[in-house]
Amino acid sequence: MRIIGPAIEQELLSINMVLFYGLILCPHSESSAVTLRFERKENVANIKSQKKRIITNEKARLRNRAVKSELKTATKKVHTAIEEGKRDEAIAAAQDVGRLYDKAVSKGVVHKNQAANRKSGLMKAANAVPAK
């Protein structure tokens, strides 16, 4: 999912308002579109490369937040299946969460040791559910 297109990004970098205003990207819940909102900030960079970093960091923050949210949702599915006593569903969901954690590690969102510990804990809990 692209947050903003390269043409818009270039346009933003060329706008003089970026010198005086900080860029805030606001995702909409209805669609994947993003609105741009300018908000007054006290310490905003005047250097071109730092303005680019502000935009890049904001895009990365939104992407990381989405990945973490997806991980939490998938983890809740595992816990729900465990509480309902559905062993097969819990194990399948735990395997899916494992894949998501591996992707998050490769993107640098989650540390590999944290991912390994969480995957291990989920699989242990899923395997502890008695078979029916």
Top pLDDT among 83 and 26 is at 83
pLDDT at 52 over 60: yes
69 CB-near residues (< 8 Å, 6+ apart): none
Of 3.40.50.620, 3.40.50.1100, 3.40.50.2300, 1.20.58.110, the CATH number of 6-127 is: 1.20.58.110
Instruction: Dump pLDDT digits (tens) for 82-108.
Output: 999 999 999 999 999 999 999 999 999
Q: Tokens in use for 49?
A: 């490369």
Top pLDDT among 98 and 21 is at 98
pLDDT number for residue 124: 96
* CB neighbourhood size of 93 (10 A): 22
Q: What residue ranges in the chain does DSSP mark as E strands? A: 21-27, 34-40
Domain boundaries, the chain: 6-127
Alpha carbon 56 to its chain centroid, in Å, reads 14
